[in-house]
């Protein structure tokens, strides 16, 4: 699953995730992703590319329902390394 419309090869990423998420990803792909090898995995409400203007209201509502209002989507990219570092006995800044 990748977009061929990146500015350069540097824009392409391989994403790893725990095997436990495979069923959830399959569920999402069946219900929400566009069909085909070039279909969007995460499409906006009308099937177009996600944009801040059409993603943010949905994200904010989901965070409110989950009891974590004010969580920014970017916070998720920090949570994984921070959690892994803390689990290994380090702070996010690498301090013991």
pTM reported for the whole predicted model: 0.52
Looking at the DSSP assignment, which residues form a beta bridge with residue 43?
A: 49
Question: Which of 55, 26, 53 has the alpha carbon at shortest distance from 43?
Answer: 55
% pLDDT > 90, the chain: 20
Which region, left, alpha or beta, applies to residue 40 given φ > 0 means left and ψ of -120 to 50 means alpha?
A: beta
81, 75 Cβ separation under 8 angstroms: no
- Give me the residue spans of the domains in the chain: 1-46, 51-96
* Residue that the structure tokens 């006995």 belong to: 89
- For the chain, the C-alpha Rg in angstroms (whole number) is 16
% pLDDT > 70, the chain: 67
Q: What is the mean pLDDT of residues 67-89?
A: 71
The answer on pLDDT for 2 being more than 50 is no
């Amino acid at each position: 699953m990748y977009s061929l419309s990146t500015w350069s090869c540097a824009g392409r990423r391989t994403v790893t995730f725990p095997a436990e998420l495979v069923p959830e990803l399959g569920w999402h792909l069946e219900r929400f992703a566009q069909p085909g090898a070039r279909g969007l995995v995460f499409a906006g409400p009308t099937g177009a590319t996600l944009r801040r203007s059409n993603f943010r209201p949905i994200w904010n509502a989901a965070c409110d329902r989950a009891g974590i209002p004010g969580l920014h989507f970017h916070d998720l990219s920090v949570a994984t390394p921070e959690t892994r570092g803390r689990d290994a006995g380090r702070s996010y800044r690498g301090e013991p």
